[in-house]
Amino acid sequence: MYKIAKENLSALYQMIAENQELYLPVKVSGQVNFAAWSEEAEVALDTLKSVKSPKDAFFPQSENLYTVKKDGKKLSIEPEALKDQDFVVFGMKACDVQGVAVLDKVFLVDPVDSFYASRRDHGTIVAMACHEPEETCFCKVFGIDCADPAADVATWMVGEEMYWKALTEKGEALTKTVESLLTSADQADEDKVEAEKTAIRSIVEKLPYSDLSLDGWNGDALEEKFNSQIWEDLYKPCLACGTCTFVCPTCQCYDIKDYDTGHGIKRYRCWDSCMYSDFTMMAHGNNRTSQMQRFRQRFMHKLVYFPANNEGMYSCVGCGRCVEKCPASLNIVKVIKSFQKQGGDK
């Protein structure tokens, strides 16, 4: 384990950025999201949660796939180059790291998504423990330890120092590039980190959703949950705005569209939302014709369909962004509690 004084973090960012791209929490117009580092950027590493998750470092909100150019009657297709530049995502929290693990289950299985795979190959994740989790956090419910994040490098901010521990080969390689700025930690330092972990876990135990039960939510609950009347009672305030899907670390749905540049066509993909009425629209129409069906789809996927196909892994990580951002307060916690309260089989 190593340590670095908080006042020297700017130098650390500079050293990382000399060799590869660096993305970290940046405040712009009062909001914090992950963005490319620059010397002018207002870094907000102490922010617990960015507005959007940092998943777009690996799964961008929009990306070109290929370009079709027209020269007279001749058409040529130019595929978009895959990511070939190494980069670091600095300051991800444990829930967002687990979100990437969920995306891996989607994009790294056959047929492998080459755009996503190239970013995962070139990306290194430096995670940071959550110093003070908030009331909307419930990562513990999904087996995530926000005090001890699993990534390429784990870090802890204790007082005026940040502690640094490489956990993978990528993490070791990154550590070597910045080793001149790091100081070896001694036993007293490791004791401080352990005390920080204990303090964080103590906070987690007191959060209102930490004891949320997932009993009855798994891959075997398909018919019981799908046919429940509770969905009809729950969905009505839903505005179908899609906010929940765009701030979520694990939502992976996208659409593919064409853009006429005037001298050719660019085919690109962009995030989509299962909450929209035209989601998965086909020539004959849409299989989900009501907002209730679309609302049900979102939560059934998180809590039933995904674990059924991924060895029990849920596609919710308890980050709490949907709890904070949904204008109608229709979030996954409310869904789970509604089924607990009403039995789930009515």
Q: Pull the structure tokens for residue 181.
A: 């700025």
Q: Which of 177, 206, 235 is the last residue of a domain?
A: 206
Residue 285 lies in a domain: yes
CA–chain centroid gap for 211, Å, is 22
For residue 47, what pLDDT is reported?
A: 94
Q: Pull the structure tokens for residue 210.
A: 């930490």
DSSP letter string, 149-209? --SSEEEEEETTEEEEEE-SHHHHHHHHHHGGG-EE--HHHHHHHHHHHHHHHHHHHHSTT
342: helix, coil or strand?
A: helix
Bridge-based pairing of strands 2-5 and 161-166 is antiparallel
Q: What are phi and psi of 76, to 5 degrees?
A: -130, 145
Q: Which of 156, 181, 206 is the last residue of a domain?
A: 206
Mean pLDDT of 290-295: 89
Residue 214 lies in a domain: no
For residue 345, what pLDDT is reported?
A: 43
Mean pLDDT of 257-264: 88
Same domain, 169 and 284: no
The model's pLDDT over 10-68, given as tens digits with 9 standing for 90+, comes to 999 999 999 899 999 999 999 999 999 999 999 999 999 999 999 999 999 999 999 99
Nearest by Cα to 50 from 118, 122, 99, 6 = 99
Residue 216 lies in a domain: no
Residue 52 lies in a domain: yes
Q: Pull the structure tokens for residue 332.
A: 């996954």
Same domain, 106 and 188: yes
Residue 181 lies in a domain: yes
What band does 282 get if pLDDT is binned at 50, 70 and 90? low
Neighbours of 155 (CB within 10 A): 21
Q: Tokens 């909307």 — which residue?
A: 136
Same domain, 198 and 169: yes
Q: Which residues pair with 227 in a beta bridge?
A: none
Residue 211 lies in a domain: no
Same domain, 201 and 244: no
The model's pLDDT over 97-133, given as tens digits with 9 standing for 90+, comes to 999 999 999 999 999 999 999 999 999 999 999 999 9
Average pLDDT value over all residues in the chain: 92
Q: At residue 324, does pLDDT exceed 80? A: yes
* Tally of structural domains, the chain: 2
Residue 213 lies in a domain: no
Same domain, 86 and 235: no
Same domain, 202 and 303: no
What band does 286 get if pLDDT is binned at 50, 70 and 90? low
Same domain, 36 and 156: yes
For residue 284, what pLDDT is reported?
A: 63
Q: Which of 94-108, 247-261, 274-288 has the lowest mean pLDDT?
A: 274-288
Q: Tokens 């929009």 — which residue?
A: 62
Q: At residue 321, does pLDDT exceed 70? A: yes
The model's pLDDT over 171-216, given as tens digits with 9 standing for 90+, comes to 999 999 999 999 999 999 999 999 999 999 999 999 999 999 999 8
Same domain, 44 and 140: yes
Please list, residue by residue across 20-57, b when 16 or more beta carbons sit within 10 angstroms of its beta carbon and e when fewer do.
Answer: ebbbbbbeeeeebbbbebeeebebbbebbbbebbbbbb
Q: What are phi and psi of 153, to 5 degrees?
A: -135, 135
Q: What percent of the chain lies above the pLDDT cut of 90?
A: 83
CA–chain centroid gap for 277, Å, is 24
Q: How far is residue 241's CA from residue 246's CA, in Å, rounded to a whole number?
A: 10
Crossing angle of helices 94-107 and 114-122, rounded to 10°: 140
Q: Which of 153, 176, 206 is the last residue of a domain?
A: 206
For residue 344, what pLDDT is reported?
A: 43
For residue 184, what pLDDT is reported?
A: 96
Same domain, 176 and 48: yes
For residue 71, what pLDDT is reported?
A: 81
For residue 181, what pLDDT is reported?
A: 96
Residue type, 119: R
For residue 343, what pLDDT is reported?
A: 54
Give the range of the structural domain holding residue 35, as residue numbers without chain letter.
2-206
Residue 102 lies in a domain: yes
Q: What percent of the chain lies above the pLDDT cut of 70?
A: 97
Same domain, 193 and 313: no
For residue 283, what pLDDT is reported?
A: 61
107: helix, coil or strand?
A: helix
Nearest by Cα to 294 from 269, 272, 263, 325 = 272
Q: What are phi and psi of 265, to 5 degrees?
A: -125, 135
Same domain, 147 and 294: no
Give Cα separations from 309 to 110, 302, 306, 312 (angstroms).
Answer: 14, 11, 5, 7
Same domain, 128 and 226: no
Q: Which of 178-182, 241-245, 267-271, 274-278 has the lowest mean pLDDT?
A: 274-278
Neighbours of 163 (CB within 10 A): 21
- Cβ-based neighbours of 334, under 8 Å, separated by 6 or more: 234
Q: Pull the structure tokens for residue 40.
A: 């002018």
Residue 183 burial by Cβ neighbours in a 10 Å radius (0-12, 13-18, 19+)? middle
- Cβ-based neighbours of 336, under 8 Å, separated by 6 or more: 212, 213, 214, 217, 303
